[in-house]
Amino acid sequence: MTKFFLNDKEVTAEENETIWQVAKKNGLTIPHLCYSDKPGYRADGNCRACMVSIEGERVLAASCIRKPSEGMKVSTTDERSEKSRKMILELLVTDQPEKTDCHDPDSHFWKIADDLEVKKSRFDKRESKIVPESDNSHVAMAVNLDACINCNLCVRACREVQVNDVIGMGNRGHVSQVIFDFDDPMGDSSCVSCGECVQACPTGALMESNLLNENGKKVVNADRKVDSLCPYCGVGCQLTYNIKDEKIVSVDGREGPANHNRLCVKGRFGFDYVHNPERITKPLIRKKGIKKDPKEKLDPLNPLSHFREATWEEALDLAASKLSSIRDAKGGDDALAGFGCAKGSNEEAYLFQKLIRVGFRNNNVDHCTRMCHASSVAALMEAIGTGAVTAPVSEVKNAEVAILIGCRPTQNHPVAATFIKNAVKKKWT
Ligand code: SF4
Ligand code: SF4
Ligand code: FES
């Protein structure tokens, strides 16, 4: 532990904590752009928006990367560091599209500029011929590098957090810019569409394209947020749905033990099914006289050609009467079984087994996880005496050896795979 002074108040830093982190712990958020305090993001110290002064030191220090030493006296409120932070923002505002015409006026960048009361710049803009053109080649993400501040957060998001190694910085000096693979359009690159870069970008240079109009301006603003859980694979990523007019418009990864804010393409962009008009939202019962014909194609937009709408009571009564007539005619044990979905909650699983045992009067009840998990349960039982998972995937970072058999985590459980890739990159390369 290190004791030092922050604006004349004695504070304590844990090992490896930076001045910025200690300040935040003490209720003071120092402006920051190239630094993200989300798990997995390394400080890079390149934007200088977080400068503070340290007594006895000639130059200002970037608080996001500088660690305090015993007895150090740090000031965030002196005129020199305040002016420096403001100047950095003014310089960056110079090359941004005007706030009234920018891609995302609600971005972190404009929030920091507003906090520092930087509205416009006294400096000359860069020549328009070196401003990168918009890239709308990707189906779900828009690239508008006229708003890019080269903070490098998307590069770390792609290379170090999700370990996809698609984004890098190309060129040198004042023409350096974000590129995908070998300067390919994003849509043609090897991008796996996890959207981590969009989530990390502080300026709106990388954004979900469905939020923008044809000129690349944000026109879709969520009116509420709902915390939820990704409905796809078993990794269990926590997320937040951004909702406008009762429709999901975008998704943010949320801090959770399994994902630490990360998402994959499914969790990030796979939400359009919710509003798909082909979804059945009311119980349907086959119309009298319409026989089942496997060769016949049903138009999913028009199920009423074969079915009629019913109330839940009527539909459940019908299903119950048909199932009990099978049970009574053919003998419960042989005729009926129940396979539940492993994605149901514990309460749902309990009710499901109750239905089978009490309603069907047998113990033929199982769920889908046993199909894919049976071999690992047997191996775990034999090796350590329990079939339950013993550690989160992220604990792979503490393993000496990781053996993967018969699985493709990067495709089937992409966020879990990021933690394996993190460990491989850190420890074994
Ligand atoms: S695209 Fe966004 S995250 Fe990437 S360097 Fe530019 S401003 Fe930073
Ligand atoms: S890995 Fe992807 S599909 Fe699985 S829970 Fe996480 S975001 Fe959803
Ligand atoms: S936030 Fe510290 S240098 Fe960018």
Q: Which residues surround ligand 3 with Cβ inside 6 Å? A: 32-35, 45-50, 62, 64
H or E segment at 253? strand 247-253
Give the single-character DSSP code of 158. Answer: I
Question: How remote is the CA of residue 65 from the centroid of ligand 3, in Å?
Answer: 7
Question: How remote is the CA of residue 222 from the centroid of ligand 2, in Å?
Answer: 22
Residue in the structure block whose two tokens are 């009990």? 324
Question: How remote is the CA of residue 36 from the centroid of ligand 1, in Å?
Answer: 12
Q: What is the pLDDT of residue 140?
A: 98
Each residue's pLDDT tens digit, 232-265: 988 999 999 999 999 999 999 999 999 999 999 9
User: What residue ranges in 8-162 does DSSP mark as E strands?
Assistant: 9-13, 51-54, 61-62, 73-75, 141-143
The best mutation among 415, 419, 421 to test binding of ligand 2, ranked by most ligand atoms within 8 Å of the C-beta, falls on 415
Least confident range from 202-211, 303-312, 332-341: namely 332-341
Q: Which residues surround ligand 2 with Cβ inside 6 Å? A: 230, 232-233, 235-237, 259, 263-264, 266-267, 413-415
Question: How remote is the CA of residue 165 from the centroid of ligand 2, in Å?
Answer: 19
Each residue's pLDDT tens digit, 48-58: 999 999 999 99
| Residue identifier of the C-alpha nearest atom 1 of ligand 3 | 32
User: Strands 238-244, 247-253: parallel, antiparallel or unpaired by DSSP?
Assistant: antiparallel
Q: What is the mean pLDDT of the chain?
A: 94
Instruction: Look at residue 332 and tell me whether its pLDDT is greater than 70.
Output: no
Distance of CA 426 to the CA centre of its chain: 22
Residues 6+ apart with CB under 8 A from 222: 242, 243, 244, 249, 250
The helix/strand/coil state of 247 is strand
Torsion, Cα 241 246 249 254, to 10 degrees, reads -10
Each residue's pLDDT tens digit, 84-114: 999 999 999 999 999 999 999 999 999 999 9
Each residue's pLDDT tens digit, 268-291: 999 999 999 999 999 999 999 998
The best mutation among 44, 59, 85, 115 to test binding of ligand 3, ranked by most ligand atoms within 8 Å of the C-beta, falls on 44
Question: How remote is the CA of residue 161 from the centroid of ligand 3, in Å?
Answer: 18
- Pull the structure tokens for residue 217: 């301006």
Question: How remote is the CA of residue 265 from the centroid of ligand 2, in Å?
Answer: 8
